[in-house]
Structure 1
Amino acid sequence: MPAPTHTRTPRTAPKDAAEVRLPWWAVALPALAFAALLMLIAGPGQAHAAAGDPALGRLLGMIMELFWA
């Protein structure tokens, strides 16, 4: 006599719970917008003065030229 088998039912989320999945750009775009606004607030002179490493200063300068050119 075969043993009874129990089938597993798929687990479903409760009716009151919502699953939220964001695409990659939903996080990247606000981060880029925040960085751009922060650079606008800081101004071009303050960004160069804050950079201690010359390579970092050049990089910030190139990024700022991209926005203000």
Structure 2
Amino acid sequence: MPAPTHTRSHRPAADGVGIRLPWWAIALPAVAFAGLLLMMLSPGQAQAATADPAFGQLIERTFQLLFR
């Protein structure tokens, strides 16, 4: 005599418990999107960064070593 099998459904639980996101899961992407949008809308105010040239050389050497 075969035993009955139980199949799982992909429907949400009937008890009303759902997945809740924390507040920052919505706020952080929204803030990042707004910041990027503001940077795109005002490109005339952008200025070149004055960084130490050694930092650029370090990054260039790292890429050379990694992608030989």
Query: Where is the helix percentage greater, Structure 1 or Structure 2?
Result: 1
Say whether the fold is shared (TM-score over 0.5). Answer: no
What range is the shorter-chain TM-score in? 0.3 to 0.5
Higher RCO, Cα 8 Å, sep 6+: 1
